A = this chain, B = another copy of it.
Amino acid sequence: MASSTAGALSGAAPLTAVNGAFLPHGEAGARIAAALREEILGGAYQPGERIRQQELAGRHGASRVPVREALRILEAEGLVTIVANAGSWVSRLSAQECTELYQLRERLEPLLLSYSVAALPAGVIERLQGLADAMQRSADVEEFIRLDRTFHLLSYSAAATIMLGDTISRLWNRTQHYRRAYTRMFRAERDDSVHYDHQLLVVALRNRDTDDAERVLAAHIRRTRLALARHPEIFDA
């Protein structure tokens, strides 16, 4: 059973091979967490749905030990809720809880943006312009969700932080499902203020006007928060 030490493409995989890729020792938990995170964010798992350890372990070719590690990681991120001796479920939010997360975003994202503004390369600002334009043309909900997320997170990409960036990623992840549900609704209502916000944000970034960018972003998030609060039916399911 002695496996060779990671030869390039020959011989057997040293530990576990998933999708044909060689994987290092000591990252199984993080890898499973990343995969499960994507599944939850992509909608493969619904909020409230139960997560079984054995099922995950079997699907990833691992034992339940790293699966439990992965669940702990996602619990800390707020994506999963664990009850001792009972099980794990995909976390769900009430309307009030979602409002709280949006208030956090409203106060934190302008700060992260301010860290990013000065260091943002001009090429990135052009990509942001392209994303804002693409969103206005987009007709598909899933595509819009993806573009919107890319747009905002890209605008923060020049910020080097130890906690602020992670906190905001978590906020985006925890609210992802409800943002998707809302987007389906907002497209029916033909509200274009979202696009105007994005365009204004790009202008502020071009001018390297940190104050203006912060204000536009705070108003953008606030508007979304209030729109969500007007549609509590999203949270019933």
Interface residues, chain A, with chain B CB atoms under 8 Å away: 24-27, 29, 65, 68-69, 72-73, 76-78, 84-85, 93, 97, 100-101, 103-104, 107-108, 111, 161-164, 167, 170-171, 174
Contact = CB atoms under 8 A, between A and B. Distances in A.
B161 A100 contact: yes
A85 B26 contact: yes
B65 A97 contact: no
A163 B78 contact: yes
A97 B162 contact: yes
B24 A104 contact: no
B73 A76 contact: yes
Nearest to A86: B26
Name which of A24, A73, A104 has the most chain B CB atoms within 10 A of its CB: A104
- Where chain A touches its partner, the secondary structure class is helix
A100 B108 CA distance: 11
A90 to B, nearest CB: 15
A84 B163 contact: no
29 contacts: A24-B84, A25-B84, A25-B85, A26-B84, A26-B85, A29-B72, A65-B65, A68-B69, A69-B69, A69-B72, A76-B76, A76-B77, A78-B163, A93-B162, A97-B162, A100-B162, A100-B164, A101-B163, A103-B111, A103-B164, A104-B111, A104-B163, A104-B164, A104-B167, A107-B111, A108-B108, A163-B170, A163-B174, A167-B167
A189 B107 CA distance: 33
B84 A27 contact: yes
Contacts of A163: 78, 100-101, 104, 170-171, 174
Contacts of A100: 161-164
Contacts of A69: 68-69, 72
